[in-house]
């Protein structure tokens, strides 16, 4: 059974064929999904999906790139729905496209971490071109479990993340020929802190690179990790499933 710890299947680009998406999950043995919601409409759709498919986990949080538009009303939405939220995410910092509003990003990041602390919810982290600031904030504020989504950093950065007792999730780019840092990271990532994801509809793995992604393709991420770590696929899938459940359990 495969695990997709980060997918955007309530995004318009996938939700218009959601029955097919879910059927593909069943046919390809994808038994665990965390649906990431960055808008209230995504969250409403995810809640409806979970009623039909109870194995779905829901993550809801305000994306760093939207920081300029996030106000107190947005935090009230999160808090009002906190009992339906399994994870607060994806949250974090992204200086790649625009670093002109770093302070706004930091502010909403910290506020969401504090909300996660208050309600004992794990957090899913988006960290792009903002490694130092992200880790500094997590070290100071985070008190719940952490998942670094679509990890693409160096082995040294990964080791710093692991010091926070976090989970490291890998996605389709690890299958790309130009994935220079991924092999070393995967080989050195403890298997009990490793997760897999698609980030669908984005980042399709080889052999579907450039096409729309969906959860059924997480198997190609798993197979690449098995190749690099020299581990049987059934063994790895079982461990990833345990890690996924552990992420949501309070210690």
At residue 251, does pLDDT exceed 80? Answer: no
At residue 250, does pLDDT exceed 90? Answer: no
Question: What would the pLDDT profile of 79-98 be if each residue is shown by its tens digit?
Answer: 999 999 999 999 999 999 99
pLDDT at 20: 98
Average pLDDT over the chain, rounded to whole? Answer: 97
At residue 65, does pLDDT exceed 90? Answer: yes
Question: What would the pLDDT profile of 198-248 be if each residue is shown by its tens digit?
Answer: 999 999 999 999 999 999 999 999 999 999 999 999 999 999 999 999 999
The residue among 126, 22, 149 whose CA lies nearest residue 65 is 126
Mean pLDDT across the stretch 167-171?
Answer: 98
**Alpha helices in 7-142, H assignment, sequence order:** 12-15, 18-27, 40-52, 72-80, 102-119, 131-141
Confidence bin at 122 (pLDDT 50/70/90): very high
Between the two ends of the chain, the Cα-to-Cα distance in Å is 25
CA dist 112 → 59, 87, 92, 106 (Å): 12, 11, 9, 10
Share of the chain above pLDDT 90, in %: 98
Beta-bridged to residue 7, according to DSSP, are 35
pTM attached to this predicted model:
0.97
């Amino acid at each position: 059974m495969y695990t997709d710890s980060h997918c955007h299947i309530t995004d318009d680009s996938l939700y218009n064929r959601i029955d097919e998406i879910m059927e593909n999950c069943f046919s390809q043995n994808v038994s665990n999904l965390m649906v990431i919601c960055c808008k209230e409409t995504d969250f409403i759709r995810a809640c409806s999906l979970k009623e039909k498919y109870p194995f779905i986990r829901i993550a809801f949080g305000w994306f760093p790139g939207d920081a300029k538009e996030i106000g107190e009303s947005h935090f009230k939405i999160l808090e009002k729905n906190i009992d339906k939220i399994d994870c607060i995410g994806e949250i974090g910092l992204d200086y790649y496209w625009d670093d002109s509003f770093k302070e706004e990003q930091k502010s909403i990041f910290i506020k969401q971490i504090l909300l996660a602390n208050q309600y004992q919810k794990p957090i899913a982290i988006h960290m792009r071109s903002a490694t130092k600031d992200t880790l500094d904030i997590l070290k100071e504020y985070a008190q719940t479990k952490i998942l670094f989504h679509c990890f693409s950093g160096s082995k040294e950065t990964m080791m710093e993340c692991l010091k926070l007792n976090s989970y490291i999730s890998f996605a389709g780019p690890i299958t790309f020929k130009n994935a220079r840092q991924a092999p070393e990271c995967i080989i050195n990532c403890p298997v009990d802190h490793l997760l897999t994801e698609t980030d669908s509809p984005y980042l399709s793995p080889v052999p579907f690179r450039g096409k729309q992604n969906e959860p059924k393709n997480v198997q190609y991420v798993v197979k690449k990790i098995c190749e690099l770590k020299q581990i049987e696929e059934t063994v790895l899938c079982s461990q990833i499933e345990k890690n996924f459940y552990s992420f949501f359990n309070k210690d």
